Amino acid sequence: MFKRKRSEFEALVRAYSPELYRYAYWLAHDRFTAEDLVQETFARAWAALSSLREPQAARKWLYTILRREHARLFERKRLDIDAEQDLDALPDYRSGGMSSEFELRQALHGLPDAYREPLLLQVIGGFSCEEIAAIMGITVGATMTRLSRARLALRRDGDGRSKQELSA
C-alpha cells in the first residue's frame, strides 16, 4: 500500500514539478522562494494525498495548494518600513530603451493581480477557463472577463498608451 502511494506521488512530482516551479517563479519573482513554494506544495500534497479522489484533478489540486502556500508567505512576512524614505526620490527604472522581453515582463507586472494571475494560469499553466475559475474560487464568467481585460490592457500598453489611459 505504502509503496503504491509513494510511486503515485513520485509520478506526480516528476510530472508537475517544472510547471509548478515556473508558476511559483512568476508569483514570487525569486528563484529560491519559488523552489521553497514548490517543495512546500509537494509536502502538503503528500500529507493530503488520500484526499485526492480523482487522479485527473491532481494538476488543479497542486496549483491550488501552490497558490495558498504563496498567500501564506504574506501572512507570516513582516515588511520593513522606513518612515524616513521619500517615495518620490526613488528612481523609476521602468522607462528607457528596454528590450521587448523586459517590456512584456514590466507590462505583466503592471497588471492588477486579479488580471495577471488568471492570464499566467492560462498561458503558463495551460488551464482552461473552468479550471482557472476552480483554482481561483471565482466564476467562469469572471475568469473570462479578467482574461479579456488583461489581454486588452497588454495590447494597449504595447501600443504605447499611458498607464493612466489603461486605468480609465
Cell numbers at residue 125, please? Answer: 499553466
| Topology of the domain comprising 2-76 | Rna Polymerase Sigma Factor; Chain: A (1.10.1740)
Listed residue (92, 45, 94, 87) closest to 68, CA to CA: 45
Domain with CATH 1.10.10.10 in the chain: 98-162
For CATH 1.10.1740.10, the residue range(s) in the chain are 2-76
Query: For every one of its 168 residues, what pLDDT tens digit does the chain have, with 9 covering 90 and above?
Result: 567 778 888 988 999 999 999 999 998 889 999 999 999 999 999 888 888 778 788 899 999 999 999 988 877 666 677 777 777 776 665 554 446 677 778 888 888 888 999 998 998 888 889 999 999 999 999 999 999 999 998 888 655 544 444 443
Which single residue is written with the C-alpha cell 512568476? 26
Q: Is 98-162 a domain of CATH 1.10.10.10? A: yes
Q: How far apart are CA 67 and CA 153, in angstroms?
A: 24
